[in-house]
Amino acid sequence: MNPERRGESYDVIVVGAGPAGSTTAREAASRGLKVLLIDRSLEIGVPDKCGEFIPSLEEMRRLAPKAERLEELFDPPGWCILNRTRRVRFNFPGDVEVSIPLKGVVVERKLYDKYLAVEAARAGAELMPNAKAIAPTSSGVLIKHYGKTIEIQAKVVVAADGTYSPTARRGGLPVPRDPYDYAVGYQHEMADVDQDPATIEMYFGERYAPGAYAWIIPKGRDIANIGVGARTPYMKPGLSVRDYFRRFVERHPKASEMLGKAESTAVKVGFIPVSGPLRRTYGDDIIAVGDAAGQTIPSVGGGVPTALICGRIAGWALAQHLLEGKPLKVYEDEWRRQLGETLENSLKIRRMGDLLLASDRRFNLAVKMGWVDEETIMKGVLCRIDSKIRLIEGTLLRVLRR
Ligand SMILES: Cc1cc2nc3c(=O)[nH]c(=O)nc-3n(C[C@H](O)[C@H](O)[C@H](O)COP(=O)(O)OP(=O)(O)OC[C@H]3O[C@@H](n4cnc5c(N)ncnc54)[C@H](O)[C@@H]3O)c2cc1C
């Protein structure tokens, strides 16, 4: 097919060929819908902005116990996988370290996103790179393509265009604007890192990563993604996330040792929604999926797994709507059924983290109270809220109210 000639009318236009959009397109096309998947990039998957860590199938089953058929989603092809990690070490202020076992893979996102888009094409979706959505219209989407503005008709528009989604916002969905709801991630890919390739390092504390955390995610023997996540309301006036990154690389007592000889091979910057999902992820003829819907895991900012899960549900729901006459609300009902509890718990844990890590002094108190141990951290990572976590939450709120 001539790649520069497209039809004028589709069942579904998916805006954004990231993990959410490509998975939605694949599922919808495989169910018999006529789907167009567009992306503003010249090449799908480029540029990527990601730490590139994806938990293993085993861990995903623990993290999202109600999500279905995970084995179909968490089996990336070997040629996308650069490294396998086995544990995560949490480095807290005051030299407090907690290691937990957690298996996962580090993928090359450029390859992985391309693979997901190829799978969508194989299922029957049409692909259109270099096509930037300007806004949804009453009958489709206005697109800028090779310098021309054109309208393509569709019965339903899928906003999968990532954080701050202009498509979702212009389509009337309640995309949050509060700076507390977003972290900015500033990352270099670096070579010659002195690291254990099986261990992901996470670093917390107001001095290096206010409102989020810094990370070293090994991509191989001595290559890693090194990043700092921060939220602007927590940052000192006059300092940018890049300043925090420099401080982390040069002065963090442990990280600076690992990075003393490292050289950069790429720089990546992006925003991550940590607000929890939008209040409503569907409208009259529109749904939002992935970061566009705020479906990232708020406590860690990981959004690839949830984009895959929600993308598949979105494709199913589009078929229910367009082929069976069901309301688009089935999309929201279903993703909340499969993933809602995980995301709600994660948001609570992020809020507790905000309280605990707002100052290093407060965090030291938490250590003295015996709240920072392997068992509690593991529960936090798996988004489990039990009596101990509730007790910590209650105590924190009582102390802060005083
Ligand atoms: C620095 C950083 C590190 C991260 N590390 C991790 C990690 O290790 N693990 C993890 O799980 N998550 C991580 N995340 C989050 C993760 O990258 C996202 O949650 C994930 O990519 C969401 O997928 P998505 O498909 O919703 O959106 P995206 O991957 O952002 O895809 C959106 C797509 O929409 C396209 N687009 C945007 N606007 C338009 C438009 N107007 N018209 C057409 N196309 C458009 C873009 O080109 C893009 O291809 C990280 C994020 C950042 C910023």
| Stretch (H or E) spanning 317 | helix 304-324
Give me the residue spans of the domains in the chain: 9-54+110-176+275-343, 179-273, 346-401
Q: For ligand 1, say whether the CB of 13 is within 6 Å of any of its atoms.
A: no
* Edge-to-edge strand ranges of the sheet holding 199-203: 53-55, 96-107, 81-92, 199-203, 214-218, 224-230, 182-191, 263-273
Instruction: Please state the ipTM of this predicted complex.
Output: 0.99
Give CA torsion, residues 165, 351, 356, 359, to 10 deg. 40
pLDDT at 381: 94
Rounded Cα distance between 172 and 175, Å, is 9
Nearest residue (CA) to ligand 1, atom 16: 303
Rounded Cα distance between 290 and 15, Å, is 12
pLDDT at 8: 80
* Mean pLDDT, 10 residues at a time, the chain of 402 residues: 75 98 98 98 96 98 97 97 98 94 98 98 97 95 94 97 97 95 97 98 95 97 98 96 98 97 98 96 97 96 97 98 98 98 95 86 86 92 92 83 68
Q: For ligand 1, say whether the CB of 45 is within 6 Å of any of its atoms.
A: no
pLDDT at 1: 65
For a ligand 1 pocket test, name from 26, 43, 50, 188 the mutation site with the most ligand atoms within 8 angstroms of its C-beta: 50
Angle between helices 329-357 and 387-401 (to 10 degrees): 60
Q: State the CB neighbour count (10 A cutoff) for residue 90.
A: 20
| Stretch (H or E) spanning 227 | strand 224-230
Q: Which of 203, 230, 200, 228 is nearest to 93 (CA)?
A: 203
Q: For ligand 1, say whether the CB of 162 is within 6 Å of any of its atoms.
A: yes
Rounded Cα distance between 83 and 182, Å, is 28
**Ligand 1: distance of its center to the CA of 200 in Å?**
21
**Ligand 1: distance of its center to the CA of 18 in Å?**
6
Q: What class, spelled out in words, does domain 9-54+110-176+275-343 have in CATH?
A: alpha beta
For a ligand 1 pocket test, name from 213, 297, 300, 304 the mutation site with the most ligand atoms within 8 angstroms of its C-beta: 304
Task: Provide the β-strand partners of residue 88.
Answer: 100, 200
Q: Kindly report the CATH number that applies to the domain delimited by 179-273.
A: 3.30.9.10
Tell me the C-alpha to C-alpha distance, in Å, between residue 71 and each of 61, 76, 117, 245.
9, 10, 19, 36
Rounded Cα distance between 217 and 225, Å, is 5
Please calculate the CA angle 188-189-193 and round it to the nearest 5 degrees: 110
**Beta 148-159 vs 140-145: how paired, if at all?**
antiparallel
**Beta 263-273 vs 131-137: how paired, if at all?**
unpaired
- Looking at the chain, the whole-number percentage of residues with pLDDT higher than 90 is 88
Nearest residue (CA) to ligand 1, atom 19: 303
